[in-house]
Copies of this chain bind each other. A is one copy, B any other.
Amino acid sequence: MDKDTYQARIKRCTEMMKTEGCDILLLTKPSNMQYLTGDGRLCAYAMITTDAKVAMGVPKTDIEDVKQGAFFHHIVGFEDEVGMIHSIAHYFEHFNLKEGTVGLEFTFLTQSMMGIVTHPHAKPKDVMPKDCTPILSGLRLVKEEREIDLLRQAAVVADIGMKAAIEAVKQGITESQIAAEAEYAMRYAGAEDFWRTYLSSGPRTGIAHGLPTNRKLETGDLVMIDIHPIVNGYSSDICRTVCVGKPSNGKQVAYNLYLKAQQASIAKAKAGIGMVELGEAMHGIIRDGGYGEHIFGPPIHGVGIDFEESPLPPGHAFFHGEKEPPPLPVNVVIAIGNCGLYTDSWGVRVEDTVVVGQQEPIVLTRYPYSLEVK
């Protein structure tokens, strides 16, 4: 991204700050910092004023590295938490902000991190904290063309990871080893990093968040593979379920139903659709198929710099500090198929990253669907 991109984003940000009644932002969430400054690193912060000034604080070791890629007007290095606190106070003074509101990321800050950024030695006492999650989610909701390109590249890498994982599926290999194959292939295909890999098998496919274990695959097991590469700062989200050997009829029927439901939801991913309607397109078919009691988790979430971001479904959004998303405009990017179908002894899940299109959805992840490994 070039300087103009960040300036335009910060301009939009300041407009939303004014609408929301936020006098300054104090961001620490890497993805939000990356979006507005081009640099999203751990243990750092960015302050944004309503007149579009950007001030950063980073570990003192990192200043030169940040300077090479980030867009900002001021930068300071700090040595530790005390230094960080003092540098925040310095910026409040520099910007002459003695009262008003400071936007903080309530969905990201733990109580103890909140204690640092609102410490009496950091924040002036008459500046009141306010959740800025809706501002940042609103800003990042619709993807720019350049972002769609990056998400497309990440999806290509996700497909390569899925291929490697599925080709490794065989009796005796462990869940963790299949994860290794996916991650290895994604890194060699250009992922600089990845988010958590979910990998479960057999009865463990029936749980909601199956992280990999050393369980060995047995014939007849289902294997659920959910991977999330990061490529040039953008993420992708793909999930496939496959069977070790020939699937039983019951598993195949459930898989077919789930895939039908997911595809029906994907088909509706066009501008103007609501999150509830999109989720319902999926849940309705699963319910009609007799598996209504076997769903867990919202079927859809946004994908961008983070592999899970806004938009979120209304109920879920509320509890994650988000606003209910509006009818989706074109170029919102979502993962469809997150809810899963979980029986007592196994589960299936199929998920793809999809661009909400004007006329048609654009499916970014393209790995073929098949419960049986060909």
Interface residues of A (CB under 8 A from B): 41-43, 59-62, 64-65, 79-82, 106-112, 114-116, 131, 133, 175-177, 179-180, 183-184, 187-188, 190-193, 203-204, 206-209, 211-214, 294, 296-297, 315-316, 319-321, 340, 342, 344, 347
- With a cutoff of 8 Å between Cβ atoms, the chain B residues found around residue A80 in the complex are 297, 315-316
Contact assessment for B61 and A207 in the assembled complex, using a CB-CB cutoff below 8 Å: yes
User: How far is it, in angstroms, between the C-alpha of A296 and the C-alpha of B81 when the chains are bound?
Assistant: 11
Output the least CB separation between A60 and chain B (Å). 7
User: How far is it, in angstroms, between the C-alpha of A176 and the C-alpha of B344 when the chains are bound?
Assistant: 39
Contact assessment for B184 and A61 in the assembled complex, using a CB-CB cutoff below 8 Å: no
Output the least CB separation between A286 and chain B (Å). 14
Contact assessment for B321 and A115 in the assembled complex, using a CB-CB cutoff below 8 Å: yes
User: How far is it, in angstroms, between the C-alpha of A187 and the C-alpha of B137 when the chains are bound?
Assistant: 35
User: How far is it, in angstroms, between the C-alpha of A106 and the C-alpha of B108 when the chains are bound?
Assistant: 13
User: How far is it, in angstroms, between the C-alpha of A213 and the C-alpha of B190 when the chains are bound?
Assistant: 9
Contact assessment for B111 and A107 in the assembled complex, using a CB-CB cutoff below 8 Å: yes
Q: Of B62, B111, B192, B213, which one neighbours A214 at CB under 8 angstroms?
A: B192
User: How far is it, in angstroms, between the C-alpha of A315 and the C-alpha of B81 when the chains are bound?
Assistant: 8
Q: Of B62, B116, B190, which one neighbours A208 at CB under 8 angstroms?
A: B62
Output the least CB separation between A200 and chain B (Å). 10
Output the least CB separation between A178 and chain B (Å). 9
Output the least CB separation between A221 and chain B (Å). 15
Contact assessment for B106 and A112 in the assembled complex, using a CB-CB cutoff below 8 Å: yes
Output the least CB separation between A235 and chain B (Å). 14
Q: Of B41, B212, B294, which one neighbours A209 at CB under 8 angstroms?
A: B41
Contact assessment for A319 and B61 in the assembled complex, using a CB-CB cutoff below 8 Å: no
Output the least CB separation between A43 and chain B (Å). 6
Output the least CB separation between A202 and chain B (Å). 11
- With a cutoff of 8 Å between Cβ atoms, the chain B residues found around residue A65 in the complex are 203-204, 206-207
Contact assessment for B204 and A176 in the assembled complex, using a CB-CB cutoff below 8 Å: no
Minimal Cβ-Cβ distance residue in B for A77: B296
Contact assessment for A62 and B207 in the assembled complex, using a CB-CB cutoff below 8 Å: yes
Minimal Cβ-Cβ distance residue in B for A190: B214
User: How far is it, in angstroms, between the C-alpha of A55 and the C-alpha of B123 when the chains are bound?
Assistant: 39
Q: Of B59, B106, B111, B192, which one neighbours A321 at CB under 8 angstroms?
A: B111
- With a cutoff of 8 Å between Cβ atoms, the chain B residues found around residue A347 in the complex are 61
- With a cutoff of 8 Å between Cβ atoms, the chain B residues found around residue A204 in the complex are 65
